[in-house]
Amino acid sequence: MSSYGSRHPLDDPHAGAKQTAVPEGAKVTVPAVRAAKGTRTPLVMTTAYDAATARIADSAGVEVILVGDSLGMVVLGRDSTLGVSIDEMVHHTAAVASQRPRALVVGDMPFLSYHVSIEDTVRNAGRLVVEGGAECVKIEGGRKRLRMIGALLDAEIPVMGHLGLTPQSVNAMGGFRVQGKVRKQAEELLADAAALAEAGVFAMVLEGVPAELAELITADVGVPTIGIGAGPHCDGQVLVIHDLLGLTDGHVPKFVRCYADLGALAVDAVGRYADDVRSGAFPAADESYRLPSDVAAALGASPMPAGTTEN
Ligand code: KIV
């Protein structure tokens, strides 16, 4: 059995009782997420991009909501995350934060918002916090980001790291490819993870890395790892909410599990609405506002059908 096996529900004598990585009820904070390292129950994170998805995620009890720059692909319909601007991220982060979720709200820093200068990095992260209401930010990359991480922490902005298949590096990687399959790359990732933890990130996403490597990194670093396409041994898991709800069009990666087919449900619902409009079945009398009968009579308007109340 691996060193993480005991965390799995099948090995857990209390399996069945609902357990959470952060005590239920209280607002989830950065220290609470950091303290979840090594707890038996994995952290749960999903993305959200607006008030509706934030309410869904928070009502379901996830601990962390990431306003991801996956926004560019799943909400804005682009081919990559590269064109997402800091203005767009602030706009959508504010929509999520407007719901005052119990979950920790992480604002994702988009491409080029933390690459140019330290001043730029802190100002952009500050916008996510001040204008967007994020409680911390996430940035992609390893040791080359240490200066920026230090500056953000100096500005009291907690940072979540992100290693492995970092989508903002799609051009450098030559596509969306699993990272760390060759020894040198795996060693680089181990070194990056250690450096991020040492620098003070409170958690890190591991995306698109082999499960064995994610297990090694998780054992090595003192902060929670949150996996996506990184196997079962991380301290938490994250999925894009559109993917898990069945709202994604086209290719869905093999690491995604679809828990609903809301896309099909929605097409069916809108189709039935269209049928009702075309047949005249919608709106019904009870779905319409009416004139008071004296006003209707004075205007010569058609009388209310029997049983309809004025409102
Ligand atoms: O932007 C995003 O949604 C992400 C997650 C996939 C981790 O970075």
User: What is the per-residue pLDDT across 128-147, written as a single tens digit (0 to 9) for each?
Assistant: 999 999 999 999 999 999 99
- pLDDT tens digits for 166-223? 999 999 999 999 999 999 999 999 999 999 999 999 999 999 999 999 999 999 999 9
Is the alpha carbon torsion for 82, 111, 102, 36 positive or negative?
positive
Distance between CA atoms of residues 218 and 271, nearest Å: 47
Distance CA 135, CA 158 (A): 8
**27 C-alpha to center of ligand 1: Å?**
22
Q: Which residue has the tokens 């990732």?
A: 189
Closest-CA residue, ligand 1 atom 1, reads: 68
pTM confidence score: 0.91
- Catalytic annotation present for 207: yes
Task: Report CA(80)–ligand 1 centroid distance (Å).
Answer: 12
Which element (helix H / strand E) includes 228? Answer: strand 225-228
CB of 236 within 6 A of ligand 1: the answer is no
- Domain 5-261 sits in CATH at 3.20.20.60
Every domain range in the chain assigned CATH 3.20.20.60: 5-261
Q: Please say if the pLDDT value at position 250 is more than 90.
A: no
**Amino acid occupying residue 300:** G
Structural contact between residues 168 and 111, judged by C-beta atoms closer than 8 angstroms: yes
Q: Which helix (H) or strand (E) holds 259?
A: none
**C-alpha pair distances (Å), 90 with each of 51, 67, 110, 158, 178:** 13, 9, 10, 17, 29
Q: Which two tokens stand for residue 272?
A: 């039935």
| Shortest-distance Cα residue to atom 6 of ligand 1 | 240
The answer, yes or no, to whether any atom of ligand 1 lies below 6 A from the CB of 228, is yes
How far apart are the CA of 300 and the centre of ligand 1, in A? 60
Asked whether 140 lines ligand 1 (CB < 6 A), one says no
